[in-house]
Amino acid sequence: ETGVTQTPRHLVMGMTNKKSLKCEQHLGHNAMYWYKQSAKKPLELMFVYSLEERVENNSVPSRFSPECPNSSHLFLHLHTLQPEDSALYLCASSQGGSPNTGELFFGEGSRLTVL
Amino acid sequence: AQSVTQLDSQVPVFEEAPVELRCNYSSSVSVYLFWYVQYPNQGLQLLLKYLSGSTLVESINGFEAEFNKSQTSFHLRKPSVHISDTAEYFCAVSGRGSTLGRLYFGRGTQLTVWP
């Protein structure tokens, strides 16, 4: 098993659809993250979960809804998206606690296209 | 808070030429520094990191970066590049003392190696 696995790798959806992105980590980490990567823009941190609790939400629209049922799994539920939401969504994990080096381990991403 | 500036969005070079990708950061606290690489259609992979100790750090594939505290820089260098080094490179910074891996990324530098 690779460290961080994301499914699906590619997703095309209409603006009225509901879909979900899934992330699973096999590294024994206790923190998980969703990042959005759009062309020509820095990576945007969307959500942070530590020990299954959401500890950060960077002003993300409510059409994105994260879920972390346990420390190994992270979901991003998508509903009524806009074309500008088309991007690569990256999941990452880390070992939180002290000391913490800040190193993140990334999945390969889910390429989302909203029509 | 921390921020990262990557001064070059694109760096084209010929194979076997040397290359330098520039990264400057700003932070009010001591930092950890990272370079991540992203190959086409893949997630981010850690290339090298500076946590403490020697200010010169190396990767297994010939890249090196030097932490310069006075210039707040962490430039990435390779004396002789290969076509397989073509990828996007991201510099990132994390503040020491945080119990969570909160990384701030630059906008990325696209390195293209021509034969």
Q: What is the pLDDT along chain B (115 residues), one digit of tens a residue?
A: 788 999 999 999 999 999 999 999 998 888 889 999 999 888 899 999 998 888 999 998 899 999 999 999 999 999 999 999 999 999 999 887 665 667 889 999 999 999 9
pLDDT of residue B101: 65
DSSP SS3 for B62: coil
Mean pLDDT of chain A: 88
From the CA of A63, how many Å to the nearest CA of chain B?
24
pLDDT category of residue A100 using cuts at 50, 70 and 90: low
From the CA of B30, how many Å to the nearest CA of chain A?
12
Stretch A70-95: mean pLDDT: 93
Residue B107: count other Cβ atoms within 10 Å of its Cβ. Answer: 17
Verify whether the Cβ–Cβ distance A102 to B98 is below 8 Å: yes
Which residue in A112, A107, A31, A50 sits closest to A77, CA to CA?
Answer: A112
Cα gap A112→B31, rounded to integer Å: 33
Cα gap A13→A50, rounded to integer Å: 30
B100 contacts in A (CB within 8 Å)? 31, 48, 50, 55, 94, 96, 100
Cα gap A47→A13, rounded to integer Å: 22
